[in-house]
Amino acid sequence: MKIASWNVNSLKVRLEQVLQWLEHQRPDVLGLQETKLVDDKFPAEAFAELGYHVAFSGQPTYNGVALITNTALADPVTAIPGFEDEQKRVIAATCGEVRVINLYVVNGQEVGSDKFSYKLSWLEAATAWIKDELTRHPKLVVMGDFNIAPDDRDVYDPEAWHEKILCSTPEREALQAILDLGLHDSFRLFDQPEAVYSWWDYRAAMFRRGLGLRIDLVLCSDALKSACETSYIDKEPRKLERPSDHAPAVAEFVL
């Protein structure tokens, strides 16, 4: 079972790139973030033509998430239960025998800002929700743009990013609280090359220079850990003309 996460930074702009990637890679599940589309504009028919089912939750201009799967989706959820939030940042559904949660975590803007406080409260609510999901779905994948680099290996210049947004101690502790529920960063289940990233700023030729962060993650539960056979970042879409600033994060499971 191939599961992938991709912040596409506008599905309207990058629909053809996503469709081409689906045709070539044929994942079983693809979670998208930053679709930036209201629901009645979501191009469901384009995915149906490739044999995929879709579930989505969007808003104009900002945020928006979707799940694209090769099997019917069951029991969809499009909000963190009990957490009042107008921003469309989560979607979950059962895909075959696996429950999948797709997150677009708050960026936070700057450590100490109001948006940073919102990020931490959002993560706290998401953690409680994931804990509840795990009690009912042992085979659980939590993926998405986490807007957190797990540790200094995931940062091109740890000194420059020390305690900055995406790399601060409170953010990393919040991510660790999610992992402590019984989840594993699939990428780190395997020996990996150094300097592998999933996001590169558009400015200053950061992608060409190899200067990025790994903030797009596919986490798997204890029940799926031994079934994970590989996990990687597919940099090819980032090389295209007018790409997203993110590349897909992929994990493959033998189920």
What residues are annotated to the active site? 104, 145
Report the alpha-carbon distance of residue 220 to residue 217 in Å, rounded. 10
Enter the tokens of residue 198.
Answer: 């999933």
Scan for tokens 């998401």, then name that residue. 126
CA end-to-end span of the chain: 7
The residues, any chain, with a CB within 8 Å of residue 22's CB and separated by 6 or more, are: 30, 47, 50, 52, 68
Q: Kindly tell me the burial class for residue 138, based on how many C-beta atoms sit within 10 Å of its own C-beta (0-12, 13-18, 19 or more).
A: middle
